[in-house]
A and B are shown apart, each in its own frame.
Chain A
Amino acid sequence: MNLWKEFTKGFIKENPVFIMALGLCPTLAVTSSVKNAIGMGLAATFVLTCSNMIISLIKNLIPDKIRIPCFIIVIASFVTIVDLVMNAYTPEIHKNLGLFIPLIVVNCIILGRAEAFASKNKLLPSLLDGLGMGLGFTLALVLIGSIREILGAGLWLGKEVMPDAYIENPMLVAILAPGAFIIMGLLMGLIKLVNKGK
């Protein structure tokens, strides 16, 4: 039961994006379409899960003073793996995400979980924590991506979901940079409102 809690806390209660406000850069940068959001979310989930596992395994070997550089090397190795694999198998998504794949290294969610959770817990909880947080991150990305793609292009995952007249003349600003900031702000406000009402 406890393990289940470790897994699900990242979805809503401790959602890394909306509640903890971590990993904001990729959240806004890659969510102009749902497809990119899913790609980014899964890439980060993979890195997060693997790095959490490795760090929880080697936590006793790392001297306390240099733990942050050690964590960063572990994370950077997995990011390199993801970078190469995505380049080989999903070149289109790799091209769209571009700069933001190497930048997973400095995504504060991953270093944050390594420092706050994996370096203090055993293998299995760390694995579930990483997986849960990663999926929570993906969930947040897909939510923002859906709103932006539907408002900004009238599409969802490339399929037409709005009337033709809307698609011809969509609210373009939602896909552009300003829309990302404003939608993010409104969503955060909404979530704060809902949480307070509980």
Chain B
Amino acid sequence: MSFITQIFTLAVFAIFVNNFVLSKFLGLCPYIGVSKKIDSAVGMGMAVIFVMTMASTFTWLIQEYLLIPYELEYLQTIAFILTIASLVQLVEMVIQKTAPSLYKALGVFLPLITTNCAVLGVSILNIQEDFNFLGAILNGLFSGLGFTLVLVLMAGLRERLEKSEVPEAMKGMPIAFVIAGCMALAFLGFSGLNF
């Protein structure tokens, strides 16, 4: 398989087939919580793409050059969550200094991301699936894209839902879950893809 095909396959699998939200159940809290408006969904999505790519990069390096040489693999969970927490803080500070307009758009979402399980999830999955360095970065990027895609789709659906009549008890979160179920059903179709 040529290099380009490999990347393409990785992208399709990370975005559609193994979508983080709909087939791996990662990052559900922001998926349900921040999907009421398209604007904020886009902002959150961008922040997640950014942090997931960065986190994949740094956690892979830490695993390879710190934990494995010193035989500290059992500290993976602690090391990764600390890396992610400090990374998010660092990113927040850097963006605030260098790109104030970007900070305005992403700022409120960044602190929330530390406890987004999709970020820790992608870091651990990269190690479990034995990706090389480039693979880990790309997997982080594409998984983030997949997350953003379904988040924005969901926000669009929920904006329209505001105007429709939903039974009183199903308003808000319950109906959001049922919609997510329907989306997951649609995404299940992608699992038939074969390369």
Please judge, given known A-B contacts A24-B28, A80-B75, whether A102 and B23 are in contact too, CB under 8 Å: no
Mind listing 9 A-B residue pairs with CB under 8 Å? Answer: A21-B173, A24-B29, A25-B26, A28-B28, A72-B82, A76-B77, A176-B188, A181-B181, A192-B169
Q: How many angstroms from the CA of A107 to the CA of B81 in the assembled complex? A: 12
| Of listed B77, B115, B128, B185, residue having the most chain A CB within 10 A | B77
B140 at the interface (CB under 8 A from A): no
Assuming the contacts A181-B178, A181-B180, A192-B174, asked whether A105 and B32 have C-beta atoms less than 8 A apart, the reply is no
Are B117 and A25 interface neighbours, CB within 8 A? yes
Size of the A side of the interface (Cβ < 8 Å), in residues, is 42
Contact A76 B81 (CB under 8 A): yes
| A interface residues, Cβ below 8 angstroms from B | 21-22, 24-26, 28-29, 68-69, 72-73, 76-77, 79-80, 83-84, 99, 102-103, 105-108, 111, 173, 176-182, 184-186, 188-190, 192-193, 196
B28 and A25 form a contact (CB under 8 A): yes
The chain B residue with its CB closest to the CB of A77 is: B78
Which residues of chain B (39-80) have a CB below 8 Å from chain A? 74-78, 80
User: Which of the residues A178, A184, A189, A190 comes within 8 Å of B185, measured between beta carbons?
Assistant: A178
Report whether B169 and A80 are in contact in the complex, using a CB–CB cutoff of 8 Å: no
B124 in the interface (beta carbon within 8 A): yes
Contact A106 B25 (CB under 8 A): no
Q: Is there contact, CB below 8 Å, between A24 and B32?
A: yes
Q: Is B37 an interface residue (CB 8 A)?
A: no
B41 to chain A, nearest CB (A): 17
The distance in angstroms between the C-alpha atoms of A60 and B52, with both chains bound, is 34
Decide if B178 touches A186 in the complex (CB within 8 Å): yes
Chain B interfacial residues counted at CB < 8 A: 44
Q: Which residues of B contact A76 (CB under 8 A)?
A: 77-78, 81-82
Asked if residues B174 and A189 are in contact (CB atoms below 8 Å), the reply is: yes
**Complex interface: chain A residues within 8 A of B77 (CB):** 76, 79-80, 83, 102, 105
Contact of B25 (CB < 8 Å), options: A25, A84, A189? A25
Contacts of B170 in A (CB 8 A): 185, 189, 192
The reply on B120 being an interface residue by CB < 8 A is: yes
In whole angstroms, what is the CA distance A180 to B177 when docked? Answer: 9
B27 in the interface (beta carbon within 8 A):
yes
Q: Which residue of B lies closest to A23 (CB)?
A: B29
Residue of B nearest to A184 (CB): B177
User: A80-B74, A102-B77 are known contacts. Are A181 and B184 too (CB-CB below 8 A)?
Assistant: yes
Interface check B38, CB cutoff 8 A: no
Residues of B within 8 A of A (CB): 22-29, 32, 74-78, 80-82, 85, 114-117, 120-121, 124-125, 128, 167-170, 173-182, 184-185, 188
Closest to A80 in B: B77
Alpha-carbon gap, A181 to B150, bound state (A): 14
CB < 8 Å neighbour of B184 from A106, A178, A196: A178
Determine the chain A residues whose CB is within 8 A of the CB of B182 once the complex forms.
Answer: 178, 182
Q: B175–A177 contact, CB under 8 A? A: no
Chain B residues positioned under 8 Å from A180 (CB to CB): 25, 181, 184
Partner of B169, one of A22, A25, A83, A189: A189
A176→B82 CA distance, assembly (Å): 33
Q: A25-B29, A80-B74 are in contact. Are A106 and B115 (CB under 8 A)?
A: yes
Kindly list 8 other residue pairs between chains A and B, CB separation below 8 angstroms, not including A25-B26, A29-B25: A25-B27, A84-B74, A99-B121, A106-B120, A178-B184, A180-B184, A184-B177, A185-B178
